[in-house]
């Protein structure tokens, strides 16, 4: 059973469009800090912890995880200048990072590990290292 020329042309056009869309999505990846909430969270963490070298990709992942956990009311309070909300964001980032796993060494680059939730990971003692 042979395929007609019109069908071949149609299938070739569909394949070309699909390939173009796929390549466009592959090469154009929006930066994670384009979202205003993510950018605000990253700016807050950088302002609260200026003495630390922070992994930017990890900071973006932390901000996205914070949004995924429906923390927009807290972020609105931080945007309005609530010092407690800002301090909570900085504290949450430090608890979610490997800062304490490296002995609170400010010379190390701080990387994001996973969103800290005491109900999901209640026993994450950074001082219990095997030597």
122 falls in which pLDDT band (50, 70, 90)?
Answer: low
Please give the structure tokens belonging to residue 75.
């972020």
Which pLDDT tens digit goes with each residue over 18-69? 877 776 776 665 555 567 778 888 888 888 888 888 888 888 888 888 888 8
CA atoms of 63 and 128, how far apart (whole Å): 28
- pLDDT score of 125 more than 70: no
Domain residue ranges in the chain: 1-30, 33-110
Cα 98 to Cα 15, 29, 48, 79, 106: the distances in Å are 45, 27, 17, 26, 11
Segment 10-19, tens digit of pLDDT:
888 888 888 7
- Classify 103 as helix, strand or coil: coil
- The pLDDT, as a whole number, for residue 22 is 74
For the entire predicted model, the pTM comes to 0.65
Query: Please, which pLDDT band fits residue 118 given cuts at 50, 70 and 90?
Result: confident
């Amino acid at each position: 059973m042979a395929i007609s020329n019109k069908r071949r042309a149609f299938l070739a056009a569909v394949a070309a469009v699909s390939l173009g869309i796929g390549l466009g999505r592959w090469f154009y990846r929006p930066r994670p800090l384009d979202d205003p909430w993510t950018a605000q969270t990253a700016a807050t963490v950088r302002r609260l912890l200026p003495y630390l070298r922070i992994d930017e990709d990890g900071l973006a992942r932390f901000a996205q995880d914070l949004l995924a956990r429906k923390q927009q009311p807290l972020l609105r309070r931080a945007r309005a200048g609530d010092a407690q909300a800002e301090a909570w964001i900085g504290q949450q980032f430090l608890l979610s990072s490997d800062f304490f796993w490296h002995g609170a060494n400010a010379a190390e680059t701080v990387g994001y590990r996973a969103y800290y939730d005491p109900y999901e990971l209640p026993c994450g003692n950074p001082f219990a290292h095997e030597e």
